[in-house]
């Protein structure tokens, strides 16, 4: 198994790594996008395009606090038409068959609508068996997201 840092991004705290197994490659990310950073959607879009172009056969798992509060999701169907028209990142998610596996709100603040800011996005949703939220840690208003990934099956050839 080989692990390599793929790239650093122009976001506050973001890491991309590639994980090479004998018959499969994964590209994993952990993203934190500050709600105050105006260029974060563009930076996420540029990183995603870089990964998709340079690792076309890899399973992609983008996780983290995207802080995309302007995103309007329809659970089980992706994004609304207005979201696609307003933001190139959302159009690229749809164009590249990337799926959000988080279907429940991940942030709840008193006096505000619940929102889905913490996401798991993949190009291979069948590998993500289950995604759930847990109770917040400490004084955080974000609920941790836990995803279970399908274990790769080892096949012995004799």
- The H-or-E segment that residue 124 falls in is none
The partner residues of 31 in beta bridges, in order of sequence, read: 14, 64
Distances (CA, A) of 94 to 19, 34, 48, 49, 80: 25, 23, 12, 13, 11
Write the CATH number of the domain with boundaries 2-149: 3.60.10.10
Q: List the chain domain ranges.
A: 2-149
pLDDT at position 76: 44
Choose among 6, 41, 14, 23: nearest CA to 152.
23
The partner residues of 30 in beta bridges, in order of sequence, read: 15, 63
- CA 22 – CA 29 distance, rounded (Å): 20
pLDDT digits (tens, 9 = 90+) for 59-116: 999 888 888 766 665 554 455 555 555 666 777 787 888 888 888 888 888 888 888 8
């Amino acid at each position: 198994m080989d692990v390599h840092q793929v790239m650093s991004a122009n976001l506050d705290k973001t890491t991309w790594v590639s994980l090479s197994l004998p018959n499969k490659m994964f590209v994993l990310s952990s993203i934190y996008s500050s709600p105050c950073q105006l260029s974060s959607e563009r930076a996420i879009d540029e990183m995603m395009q870089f990964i998709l172009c340079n690792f076309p056969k890899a399973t992609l798992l983008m996780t983290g606090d995207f802080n995309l509060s302007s995103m309007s999701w329809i659970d089980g169907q992706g994004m609304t038409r207005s979201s696609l028209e307003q933001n190139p990142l959302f159009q690229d998610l749809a164009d590249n068959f990337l799926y959000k596996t988080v279907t429940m709100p991940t942030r709840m603040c008193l006096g505000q609508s619940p929102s889905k800011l913490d996401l798991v996005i993949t190009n291979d949703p069948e590998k993500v068996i289950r995604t759930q939220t847990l109770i917040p840690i400490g004084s955080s208003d974000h609920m941790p997201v836990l995803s279970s990934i399908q274990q790769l099956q080892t096949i012995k050839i004799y």
